Structure 1
Amino acid sequence: MKFNVCGGLDAPDWILANMSTLSKISSVRIKVLAKHIIDRMLEGVFDYEKVLKLSKDSSLGESEVKACIAVLHFFVANAAKFDVDDSTLSKELQQLGLPKEHSDALCTPYLQNKDSLQAKFLEQALRIPALQIGGWQVQVGESKNVIMRLTTTNSVDQEEETSQKLQLCLTAEKFHLLLHELKTAKTLLEEIS
């Protein structure tokens, strides 16, 4: 079965294996654990000792607590990443075997922090520096070469930009291949958007 929280794929086996363990924790503890995990994602702070104290009365071992943390982290991170609404998340968690009270307990802090999580993930996303062609020339001789002068621009922060100048020398065949691949990539991107 395909799940939105898994990016439209089947749930990983390790998630399925740990759903019964997660069900042993009370729904109140699930909510508190979810809040700690969301704080970790947003602020980078995770009080592991406090989490272990919260889980002591549920008769789980340390490795089982770690597994529960990993499962909750997976659900919260993927739900934000794939823009899953709280009702869909709740239904899918129940389909995976989590009791309704537990899934609702996880959805409450997720819904409260969904926008913040998505903004944080967007901020951390891989960005390719802008590339500009500063000029080009064809070098005539035995083998025709295309020399391109490129400039990359990196934004270190909002106030400072760095640029780097590069020179690229391609044979005519490689240049035509590059041009063809760039046109193909452009066509694919236009189809997607």
Structure 2
Amino acid sequence: MKFSVCGGLDAPDWILAHMSTLAKISSGRIKIIAKHIIDHMLEGVFDFEKVRKLSRDSSLGESELKACIAVLHFFITNATKFDIDDSTLSKELQQLGLPKEHSDALCTPYLDNKDALQTKFLDQTLQIPALQIGAWQVQLGETKSVVMRLTGAKIADQIGDTNKDLQVCLTAEKFHLLLRELKTARSLLEEIS
């Protein structure tokens, strides 16, 4: 079965293996642990000792507790990444074997922090500055090559140079390969949109 929280794929085996372990923790504790995980994602702080104290009544070993934390982290991260609403997340968690109370307990802190998590993830995304080909020329000699001068506002900041141009030299074969791959990428993007 395909799940939105798994990116439209089947749930990984390690997730399925730990769903019954996760169900051993009370729904109230799940909510608190989820808040700790979200705080870790947003602020970089995770107090494992506090989480361990919270889960003592569930008689989980340390490795089982770490597995539960990893499963919750997986669900929160993927729900944020794939922009899943709380009702879909709750329904899919129940289909994976998590009790309804546990699913709802995880969805509450997720929904409260969804926008902040998406903003944080967007800030951590690799961003490539927009480039334009300022000029190009073919150089003949022992090997044919194409020299392109790329211009962009942020190039100078990234390479630490005051000159805002970046010169790229490609052999004819590499240039044709690059051109073919860019055309393929464009056609794929046009199919999606």
1:128 Cα deviation from its structure 2 partner: 2.2
Corresponding residue for residue 123 of structure 1? 123
SS of match in other structure, 2:146: strand
SS of match in other structure, 2:55: helix
For 1:136 and 1:68, locate their aligned partners in 2 and report how far apart those are by CA, in whole Å: 55
* Deviation digits for residues 80-134 of structure 1 (CA, Å, limit 9, x no counterpart): 1111110111111111111111111111111111111111111111222333323
Are the structure 2 counterparts of residues 144 and 63 from structure 1 closer, same or farther at C-alpha, using a change threshold of 3 Å? closer
Corresponding pairs, count? 189
Corresponding residue for residue 157 of structure 2? 161
1:36 Cα deviation from its structure 2 partner: 0.4
Corresponding residue for residue 192 of structure 1? 192
Equivalent positions of 1:33-182 (< 5 A) are 33-141=33-141, 143-151=143-151, 154=154, 161-163=157-159, 165-182=165-182
For 1:192 and 1:115, locate their aligned partners in 2 and report how far apart those are by CA, in whole Å: 25
**Letter matched to residue 29 of structure 2:** R
Cα root mean square deviation, aligned: 2.1
1:136 Cα deviation from its structure 2 partner: 1.5
Corresponding residue for residue 14 of structure 1? 14
Gap regions ≥5 residues in structure 2: none
* Deviation digits for residues 35-57 of structure 1 (CA, Å, limit 9, x no counterpart): 00010011111011111110111
* Deviation digits for residues 126-152 of structure 1 (CA, Å, limit 9, x no counterpart): 222333323222224565432222346
Moved more, 179-188 or 86-95: 179-188
1:182 Cα deviation from its structure 2 partner: 2.0
Gap regions ≥5 residues in structure 1: none
**Letter matched to residue 186 of structure 2:** K
Give the alignment's TM-score, normalised by structure 1.
0.88
* Deviation digits for residues 48-70 of structure 1 (CA, Å, limit 9, x no counterpart): 11111101111111111111111
Equivalent positions of 1:24-39 (< 5 A) are 24-39=24-39
State whether residues 153 and 162 of structure 1, in contact with CA within 8 Å, keep that contact through their aligned partners in structure 2: no
Give the alignment's TM-score, normalised by structure 2.
0.88
